[in-house]
Chains A and B, each alone.
Chain A
Amino acid sequence: MKIFKLLLLFFFLSYSSLTSQIPLQTAESYGDQLVIGIVGEPPLYLNPFQVNNAVEKQLIRFVFGIGLQQNVDRFGQTSNLVSRRIASSLSSKQGKEWIYDLNRNIYFHDGSYLLNNDVRFTFEVLKKYGGFILNREIDFSNVERVDLIGDLGFNIILKQKDNFFDLTISDIPILSEDYYENLLQRGYDFFSKSRPMGNGPFTLEQLSDESIILAAHSNYVFGRPFLNRVVYRFYQNEQLMNDDFLQGKLDFIEVKETITANRLYQVLRDQIKIFSTPRPEKKLFYILFNVNRRPFDNPKVRLAIRSGIDSKEIVDNIVKENIGHAAFSVIDIVHPLFYRDLFQQNYEPGISVNILQEEGWRINTPRGILEKDGEPLNLELLFEENSFLEESIARIVKIQLSELGINVLPRPVSFKEKKRLVELNQYVAVLQDYSYYDENIYGVVKDFYNNVLKNQSAVTNYSNATIEAIFKRADNNPDLIKQYIRRFQIIINNEAPAIFLYFDDHIFYALYNRFEQARIRQSGDSRSFWRLMPYENWFVPKSLQKYP
């Protein structure tokens, strides 16, 4: 009897010790919240059809949903809301008629179902008002009509054949016709006056100047998110955000470069993981000139400065190779429409000196600065204050150009001030970045010219009649787009209104370890890489949850 009792005790202890080692199941891990740090300003309101930056794109995705189909973005793919039954079997209709079935039980935040009439309504809104997602223009002018079949099926009839229509509808959220019925009459202004309502995994709980709070949507079609809340907290500069991350006030931030990433890791060690994912969008760093300011109104001075900057040194010293690569145009060198001859352009300080001498710039005084007509060649370069990356780039540019006798005066300003000065054209040169998706490279080129180089907001900066003429021609004749994109690149290269520094290929994330299922391994064409799992799949084991 005594042995039996001892055996019983032994088995009980073994069982307790084993069960304590079994990790908690995800099913028990609803709760907690994810606090994300962002440098910048929150959007005033959410308009799913006018997406200005990557953060807005994320927010739209979480509130309004992924759309009928999802394109490649920062997050791993989730299932689509529709199944494409068939493109018509009739060859005449191939690419002209698209037939879809909506999945069942897709709920909007107000509990109503997403049905095919909502799809038709959304398409009508877009046909009427258009829209854009970053540089990608949403153009539904080719949609003739949407025929409904039952309550979930629908046919999209195009005016002209389009074999890639699937891409056109991806990432475009579907609105509830019942909720947004006034949108057709009142236009997109209606979004600023109504509470956003979609079918995404989160609902918008609060939007303020400092933060955005999203709460879990319990009827989300792919299952309720594990996290109760996702909070976006906005910061004036990178340093403040990093400090809050170090103090545990933030759970997740994007780190701009490896040096800061190493610093964070040095402090927090095992508490965090730092990982990178390939950047699905392109992020180009460049120096933009104010071509209205002397002497930078002279393209030769701009070209001389470009030749005096070694972007490879920037990549090697700050960005690190295989995380970024040198840029020669607004189009990445891996893109088929990149003009190959530009690749030959390189760091040529000798050429730079020659150009400047030809233009009459001399070092006449012991100061060592190039002068012309008694005016020193000073280049005031705006950069974002408290950004280690931008300060380091500014320093390298200063060192490199000072070798030529160009006095670079880096000036740190807040991102708001930088934006204001650029809009007002009150600067000499500014260090900036530009992000885009390259599916529609013509749209990118146009956007870059119009919104970055030309700066139509207040005072026109760089404009070129030839470029505008080729855009007009390309708009009328899409077959010539390739040729015109090449010409655009040649013109920009010759006139150098901007100096392209490098493309940032990876995003570095710093995340506290309590979050599970944050990354997913995906296979690329030649290698495997990690991508972020959508936030709705992230979870925190009960025992590690921080927020009630």
Chain B
Amino acid sequence: MSSLRIGTYLKISKRNIRRYLERKIQRRLILNFVGLGVLPILIASFLLIGLTENTVQTYIFERNLEIARGASNGVSLFVKEPLTILNTMAQSRDIIEMERFTQSRYINKIQNSYSIFRKIYILDRSGVSVVTTSFGEELKNFQREPEYYVPITGKEYFSNVNFTPSNFPAMSIALPIRRYNTVEGILVGEIDLKNIWNLLDSIQVGKTGFAMLISAEGNAIAHPDKPRVLSRENFTQYPFFEALRNGEEGVSYYTENNEHLFATYVPVREFSWGIVVQQNEDEAFELVRKMRTQVSIFVAITTILALFLAFGTIRRITQPIETLVKGVRTYAEGDLSHRIKIERQDELVVLGDEFNKMAESLEKNQRQLRRMERLAAISRFASLVSHEIRNPLNAMNINMQILRRLISQTDSPPEKKMKYLNIITSEINRMNSLVTNFLAIKILTNVNCIISAVARWTNFIFT
């Protein structure tokens, strides 16, 4: 029902538009001009903007992804350094053959030289810490800790990111110490992940962009806004978290504090962590926005200029036509004295001159026709007058002859003579009346002329 209505409405609109356009050449020309000239500019511009936007966006995404990949590699290397140190220690048979005293000196030297270690423990086969750099934690039992029960099976162990009592991020690495392929002890190193902060703090993308490191549990390990790390802010609700957990890299959009943001994310595969480079959309795509604005302004100005030009050109074409139409309309109204004036030098001027010549010719012909009509009317009038005058004159002539005869006859009675004289007198009166009527006709003709002029002006004014 409604589609039918819409169809009808469209038909009506189409018809109205067509009618509207059909009525004036100017409208059709403008439509053609816009269609052929301005629309391509607009379409080309919008295509260009879209293409450039896509290019810049792709570039920004790629750039941020590259930054995230670099940071991911940096983080991997950062954690691999203590891992390498611990591995070297664990794989050397010396460490298990050392005396406790020497082991203690060894691991304390390592901790003193590498600030990344918070604590180092050497556990015996039963899971008791026999040597440690954490003074006061000697003989700590790790039996129920994964730092013990995973490496005792011969595997390496990487803990989840945990937080120290001061809420700084840390993680443990535990490696088996083997002798003759049996696990003789376990080397545990607690790593201070806060040192990664320097690495990520040095990353700045534009004015607002930054990089953060998210743990497998979604907690911030490194973030430029340190209270967010210290408060163990969780990022599991963010759109990039699931993708990172699946080991994917990519781009996601989200809103935070009414700010439109986008994040490029790359996993740190060894530890199921993720590097997220977050940037404000407005800032990131400022170049695109600027470009879009500039191109839009350029297109708008070009379109306006083109329309002005089109109007000017079309006006130059249609104005003489309008003058011609007006002139012809004036001729049609009978004013052949009107002359069409076109101040140009093209074919339309010739056409105007031809019209003027035609009007001149018509006026001349009309003048001749009127004269002839007037002459005919005068002749008709003269014959009418002569006829009308001749009748009383004939009557008077007859009556005069009869009267003459009567006068010559002496015996004719005077009454009889009077009778004929009266007839003559009445004929004279009739003639007089005729002449008076003719005079009246002439006055009426003048009055008619005035009435017709008034009517013409009134008509002109009201139409």
Residues of A within 8 A of B (CB): 239, 242-243, 246-247, 259, 263, 266-269, 317, 366-369, 383, 385, 391-392, 394-396, 398-399, 402-403, 407, 410-412
Contact = CB atoms under 8 A, between A and B. Distances in A.
Interface in B209-254: 226-227, 230
Contacts of B194: 263, 266
A263 B192 CA distance: 12
Contacts of B136: 385, 411-412
Which applies to chain B's interface (DSSP): helix, strand, loop or mixed? helix
Tier of interface size on chain B: 20 to 34
B61 interface: no
Given A394-B135, A402-B105, A407-B101, 6 more contacts: A239-B166, A267-B230, A395-B108, A396-B112, A398-B105, A412-B136
16 contacts: A243-B165, A247-B230, A259-B115, A266-B197, A266-B226, A267-B226, A367-B99, A367-B100, A368-B101, A395-B108, A395-B112, A399-B105, A402-B101, A402-B108, A411-B135, A412-B135
Contacts of A267: 226-227, 230
Interface of B: 99-102, 104-105, 108-109, 111-112, 115, 133, 135-136, 165-167, 194, 197-198, 201, 226-227, 230
A412 B108 CA distance: 16
A317 B114 CA distance: 12
Which applies to chain A's interface (DSSP): helix, strand, loop or mixed? helix
B230 A368 contact: no
A68 to B, nearest CB: 45
B426 to A, nearest CB: 92
B138 to A, nearest CB: 9
Contact of A266 (B104, B166, B198): B198
B109 A246 contact: no
Contact of A369 (B101, B111, B115): B101
A480 to B, nearest CB: 45
Contact of A410 (B101, B135, B165, B166): B135
Contacts, number: 59
Contacts of A366: 99
A395 B198 contact: no
A385 B226 CA distance: 26
Contacts of A392: 112
Contacts of B101: 367-369, 402, 407
A402 B109 CA distance: 10
A391 B230 contact: no
Contacts of A243: 165-167
Nearest to A390: B135
Given A402-B105, A412-B135, A246 B166 contact: yes
Nearest to B135: A410
A277 to B, nearest CB: 26
A243 B227 CA distance: 12
B107 to A, nearest CB: 10
B108 to A, nearest CB: 5
Contacts of A385: 136
A407 B108 CA distance: 13
Nearest to A366: B99
B99 A368 contact: yes
A478 to B, nearest CB: 46
B115 to A, nearest CB: 8
A368 B102 contact: yes
Nearest to A242: B166
Given A266-B198, A367-B99, A410-B135, A399 B226 contact: no
Contacts of B109: 399
Nearest to A313: B112
Contact of B111 (A242, A266, A367, A395): A395
A317 B198 CA distance: 20
A391 B101 CA distance: 18
A236 to B, nearest CB: 13
Return the 9 tightest CB-CB contacts between A and B, nearest first.
A402-B105, A267-B226, A410-B135, A367-B99, A412-B136, A243-B166, A368-B101, A369-B101, A368-B102
